[in-house]
Amino acid sequence: MTEATIERLRLFLIESPIKMARLQGVGNVKGTVKRVLIELTSSDGVIGWGEAAPWEVFTGTAEAAFSALDIYLRPILLGKSVRRIRALMAELDRALVGHAEAKVAIEMALLDIVGKASGLSVADLLGGRVRDTIPLSFSIADPDFAADLERMRKMVPEGNLIYKVKTGVKPHREDLDHLAAIRKEFGDKVDLRVDYNQALAPFGAIRILRDVEAFAPTFIEQPVPRKFLDVMAQLATALETPVLADESCFDRRDMMEVVRREAADAVSIKLMKAGGLFEAQAIMSIADTAGLPGYGGTLWEGGIGLAAGTQLIAATPGISLGCEFYMPHHVLTEDVLEERVRNHDGHVVVPDGPGLGIRVSEASVRTNARVLAEG
């Protein structure tokens, strides 16, 4: 039987308005976010979608991802088997260094095609589900803390109980006041976490973090810049609160170094860092061996990327600390899916249809596209 091949590739660079500004430590976001959508069509007519959602201060730019896909990776993709995904991903790595976001967009589109063609979900293709829902974490990152507190007043009664407070952007005293306000109003009912996004200098970080420990956070995420792994290790030893590595861990080599130095107690798994769902599972297997749980992190993905993230977490036991897949429901003014990935009782419900389990609105994609490349 002849194998189906990649027959057509379409790219869309889209810019999506957001409802609120976000203060993130290493870089702030306001007004809009950019991402690249990829549509692959197989020779037997099956369509798969993927999404690249870089952030210029974290992994790169959407324009660079678009160019990588259009100029460098397109010639390699066309005519290749849609089923030989690992071999194709290895070929892409040999042809172009970096650009993890572009590569993961390709991989999720291929998995979407294979899943649809076989009647299996991406989670099935990754080994099968261990969970059907994922606890949702919402980030407290609005410059107007009062607005975030009001959001919590609406979300907590609806079952949304995990909140990650972005710290280190405002003065330390203000961060402590915000944490105190949350604990005063909601008590131990909420699962409170903090994320510095590398904002602290190593000198003096321990004093600041010991103040934060008074509010019993579940974890403290990436307190210092990613290069200071020895400082991360010192903090992980000195603090009672677990330390979670994000920017310090992009790939398997990073994960091995975090484990070797005992630089963290948990790890954030992000598809845009890992460059692939298979790669994300490989990173998590190292973390599993060392007893480090995973957290489902995100950059600025919309519904396509987050559908892929839910399929990954559904099939990966060690990613057990929930996910921050709140963008389509709470931040984007419009997404490109016909129906958003469902949230229920503070959890993201993993789509159960074939492939990614989503339907993309062609009209919405074209309305939001700034640049279109077809071929």
Residue numbers annotated as active site: 166, 324
Quick one: which of 170, 260, 165, 285 has its CA closest to 221? 165
Helix (H) or strand (E) holding 299: none
b/e code 265-290 from CB counts within 10 Å (16+ = b): bbbbbbbbbbbbbbbbbebbebbbee
What separation in angstroms does the CA of 63 have from each of 69, 277, 323?
10, 22, 27
Identify the DSSP state of 327.
Answer: I
| 49, HSE (Cβ side, Cα atoms, 13 Å) | 22
Other beta carbons within 10 Å of 304: 30
186, two tokens: 């909601």
In which region does residue 197 sit, left (phi positive, over 0), alpha (psi from -120 to 50) or beta (all else)?
left
